[in-house]
């Protein structure tokens, strides 16, 4: 399963990636605004948005992509590694239900 993380802290990027790999996910982290965010999210099975540390236009674009492509979306105000773990657990529970 692959996950896109939108927002978060730059200094925690490696920890986000390590936690995802440890839990069996492939991950792309977008902590800063990047061009063509929608195209870079192709093939993602889930999206995690850290709403406390991300610009509103990025949230709007990630939400639009999730709706268009029917991708599960998790939001967390906190941007810590434990918040990421909770979001990934929730995504995997939703995946099992489907």
Residue 48 near residue 4 (C-beta atoms within 8 A): yes
Residue 74 near residue 51 (C-beta atoms within 8 A): no
pLDDT number for residue 98: 60
Q: What is the pTM of this model?
A: 0.92
Kindly state the percentage of the chain with pLDDT values over 90.
73
**Predicted confidence (pLDDT) at residue 94 exceeds the cutoff of 80:** no
Residue 19 near residue 64 (C-beta atoms within 8 A): no
Q: Using 50, 70 and 90 to split pLDDT, how confident is the model at 71? A: very high
Which residue segments constitute the domains of the chain, with CATH numbers given?
2-97 (3.40.50.720)
Average pLDDT over residues 71-80: 93
């Amino acid at each position: 399963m692959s996950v896109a993380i939108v927002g978060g802290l730059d200094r925690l990027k490696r920890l986000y990636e390590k936690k995802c790999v440890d839990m069996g996910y492939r991950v792309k982290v977008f902590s800063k605004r990047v061009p063509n965010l929608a195209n870079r999210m192709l093939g993602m099975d889930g999206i995690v948005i850290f709403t406390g540390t991300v610009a509103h236009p990025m949230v709007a674009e990630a939400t639009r992509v999730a709706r268009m492509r029917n991708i599960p979306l998790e939001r967390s105000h906190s941007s810590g590694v434990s918040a990421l773990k909770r979001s990934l657990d929730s995504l995997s529970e939703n995946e099992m239900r489907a």
